[in-house]
Amino acid sequence: MSKCSAGQELPDWELQKIEGSSKTFVYTRRRGCDIIRNPHLNKGLAFTLEERLQLGIHGLLPPCVIDQDAQVLQVLKNYEMRKDDLDRYIFLMALQDRNEKLFYRVLTSDIERFMPIVYTPTVGLACQQYGLAFRRPKGLFITIHDRGHIATLLKSWPATDIQAIVITDGERILGLGDLGSYGMGIPVGKLALYTACVGMNPQQCLPVMLDVGTDNEELLKDPLYIGLRHKRVRGQVYDDLLDEFMQAVTERFGQNCLIQFEDFANTNAFRLLNKYRNKYCTFNDDIQGTAAVAVAGLLAALRITKNKLSDHTFLFQGAGEAAIGIANLIVMAMEKEETPRQQALSKIWMVDSKGLIVQGRDNLSDQKLQFAHPHPELRNLDDAVRALKPTAIIGVSAISGAFTEQIIKDMASFNQHPIIFALSNPTSKAECTAQQCYQLTQGQAIFASGSPFDPVTMEDGRVLYPGQGNNAYVFPGVALGVIACGVRHIHEEIFLIAAEAIVEQVLEEHLAEGRLYPPLKAIRNVSLLVAVKIAEYAFRNGMASVYPEPEDKESYINSLIYSTDYDEFVVDSYTWPEEASQIQTVKK
């Protein structure tokens, strides 16, 4: 043990924050290169001369001392020199490896600019090229051959206060299919947004790649592939691996550790969600996060159509986890409008690879069966649109161009404001572009997409800004709200609350511009509101385990936010600032 000048005992932790009224201090026993090679501690040229002398790094850096704002400018100049988005992605990931606080300061300086690089659509390309982009591990790789030893692997991770995990098995990365171990880019990107969009402490987040093999023949033959080189393992062995992982996580990090499932194939996504949702603190972003952001867009659209959800007929292109998740949340929202459940279900139709889902069709899963209604079988979306005359079509099939020119024109012919959501990611998989949708409907369509599209200028001079139904509006705020109040099981109502909170931030001026969501530059405020609303709901309904209940939920949640400002270093008891000697030590 060490002691500060007030006689206060300091545990032998490598990193310790000492929080005072206005400053935060870091205590570390590391010295020299160990400091500047640690992204959690490194400040680059922002180390003061005093810090350099105390930490043994004087001479390891050029003599110039520059502040963090100047460092941001330096990063931006370097960023602008990169030739393409993949190069920019690799550049930013390298910055994250060197200087964590500077990385997040850059991201939050212009989230609208950088989100498409660290998340969709560029993260999809990065996953496809992950063998080239891989520099150093940012998360934990657990393979099917590690069964029986997962608890030991978790102990290899240096941080012990993990509060959020994003896990994938790489089988359905965006709309790109099975990318195996290359799918690690998704958990890394998601957790970067946990910090950038809502302020989760990155040292409390853990990306996990569950490598059980891949059925992608190209990857199996690729000499640069970084994963297991065999076909996917399925069945009981796969289930046993997941069971062991979930149990090991709660034993290592506690029952309140949030586990977000990401990009699992349909065959596993629903059953794993149903299996674990009432036992662990977990959710599936592809099912529930996508549902919340889509329903938020629909609720915003109602302010244009001037009616209720139950007045609409919804037709989905696709019937996988995203479609089922959105449809179920639409039903819940209609029930909140006091629409009977069966009537709500009758308003929703789906087209899958075999055509319109109708009663009497063979081999329908339980998830699809509830949306199977009496109707003659139809083979494609075009026929379904003409027959059903929906008010809204929602694309979640990853079939590029599925919303044809004829379909868009048909939608405009029997709707004053057709709702057209092309939600598939990445951009290359979108069912239609914003420009196609707006131009073919003379700007009357209510459009949203999963990936970003540029503003569209109409012939009459109007500029329309496509709404991006980005899950980033949902999962960071949900995560912080759940973690802040210690929710142990995440109920479906939480995602409807998230959708309603997002809509609260959509102004009339946004709707007039074509936006169904707040501008991305406001996403941090949106995410914080989502977290506060979830915390209020959790305490109100007895779902929170934090005690005592904070009187001011917003202030409480704001107190948890990670700061991108550099900390000041304290080396030993003889160099402690006077104000630091009187304050409580808090392990981070």
Residues 288 and 301: their CA atoms lie apart, in Å, by 20
Give the burial string for 405-443 (b: 16+ CB within 10 Å, else e): eebbebbbeebebbbbbbbbbbbebbbbbbbbbbbbbeb
> What one-letter code names the amino acid at 510?
H
Strand partners, 351: 317, 356
Q: Which of 43, 190, 347, 429 is catalytic?
A: 190
Give the burial string for 359-393 (b: 16+ CB within 10 Å, else e): eeeeebeebbebbbbeeeebeebbebbeebebbbb
Whether 194 is a known active-site residue: answer no
Q: Which of 27, 104, 119, 537 is catalytic?
A: 119
Residues 493 and 495: their CA atoms lie apart, in Å, by 5
Q: How many CB atoms lie within 10 A of CB 303?
A: 14
Whether 119 is a known active-site residue: answer yes
Say how many Å lie between the first and final Cα of the chain, rounded: 18
CA count, 13 A, side-chain hemisphere, 44: 18
Quick check: helix, strand or coil at residue 556? helix
Q: What does the DSSP assignment read for 217-239?
A: HHHHH-TT--S--SPPP-THHHH
Residues 30 and 23: their CA atoms lie apart, in Å, by 21
Both tokens of 160, joined, read 């012990």
CB-based burial of residue 401 (10 Å sphere; 0-12 exposed, 13-18 middle, 19+ buried)?
middle
Q: How many CB atoms lie within 10 A of CB 148?
A: 10
- From residue 370, give the alpha-carbon distance in Å to each of 339, 345, 348: 16, 7, 10
**Residue 291 contacts residue 498 (beta carbons within 8 Å):** no
Strand partners, 206: 165
- How many residues comprise the chain? 588
Tell me the pairing of strands 2-3 and 314-317.
unpaired
Residue 541 makes CB contacts below 8 A (sequence gap 6+) with none
Tell me the pairing of strands 355-356 and 205-211.
unpaired
For the chain, the C-alpha Rg in angstroms (whole number) is 25
Both tokens of 192, joined, read 């970067």
Report cis status (omega within 30 of 0) of the bond before 418: no
**Residue 202 contacts residue 191 (beta carbons within 8 Å):** yes
Strands (E), 232-333: 258-261, 282-284, 314-317
Report cis status (omega within 30 of 0) of the bond before 452: no
**3-state secondary structure labels for all residues of 294-305:** HHHHHHHHHHHH
Residues 109 and 176: their CA atoms lie apart, in Å, by 30
Q: Mind telling me the catalytic residues?
A: 119, 190
